[in-house]
Amino acid sequence: MDANPSTWSEHTVGAPATDADGDAYRALSGNAAKGIAVVTAAHRGWDHAVTVSDYLSVTYDPPTMLVSLYSLSRIVEAVAGAGRWGLSLLASDQRSVAERFGEQGAPLDALLRQTPHVRRDPDGPALIAGALCWFELRTVATHEAATHTLVVGEVTAMGRAREFGAKPLVRFQSGYLR
C-alpha cells in the first residue's frame, strides 16, 4: 500500500548540516518515547551525575550496555577516569531527580546531597535510591560519534529498588510522561 502523499513529509539534510536540519531532526526524533536514567561516576573525590535518555542494552552475553554522553561534559571525563559507572533507571515519581541532573553546569559540591542514593562500596558510583533498577558497569570501549561519546560498559552488578510493575519516567516530545 502506498503512503498517502498528503500526510507524508520529507526533509533532506544538507552537507554540511544546517541549524534548520538540526531543528528538524530534534522535532522528529523527539517522537521516540525514551526511558530516563541517571549516569553516575565517582572520580577524583567528586560525584558526577547526569540525566540521560540515550542508553540501551547491547547484549545479554555478557550483559553489556551503551550510553551516549555529550563529549565536552564532565561526566565523560569522570566515567573515563573512574573506569566504572552507574546507570539508574528512574521511576515515574522521580521527575525532580531527572531535572536536577539534567541542568547544565551543576556544581560538583554536594551534587548528590539532596538525592537519596546508595553505594555498593565507598569508592563506587552512587546508585539512585527508589530507581526502577540499577546497573553498575565497567567501561570496555568508547566511540566518538559527532558531538557525543558512546560508552560501552559490561555490567558487573545489577538490581532493583522497587517492585516489578512500577512505572518508568519517560520523555516524549520534549516533556516527561508518567
- Give tens-digit pLDDT for 26-39: 787 777 888 999 99
> Higher-confidence residue: 4 or 84?
84
Q: Within a domain: residue 103? A: yes
Residue 93 lies in a domain: yes
Q: How far apart are CA 175 and CA 33, in angstroms?
A: 10
Flag whether 6 is in a domain: no
Closest alpha carbon to 46 in 96, 13, 10, 81: 81
Residue 28 lies in a domain: no
22: in domain: no
* Alpha-carbon torsion (16, 19, 21, 27), positive or negative: positive
Q: The CATH number of the domain where 112 resides is what?
A: 2.30.110.10
Domain membership flag for residue 142: yes
- Determine the pLDDT at residue 1: 52
pLDDT at 3: 62
Structural domain of 58:
34-172
Share of the chain above pLDDT 70, in %: 93
CA atoms of 41 and 76, how far apart (whole Å)? 9
Grid coordinates belonging to 128: 539512585
Global pTM? Answer: 0.88
Number of domains in the chain: 1
- How many residues in total does the chain contain? 178
pLDDT digits (tens, 9 = 90+) for 117-158: 999 999 999 999 999 999 999 999 999 999 999 999 999 999
pLDDT over 80 at 5, yes or no? no
Q: Helix, strand, coil: what percent of the chain each, to 5?
A: 15, 40, 45
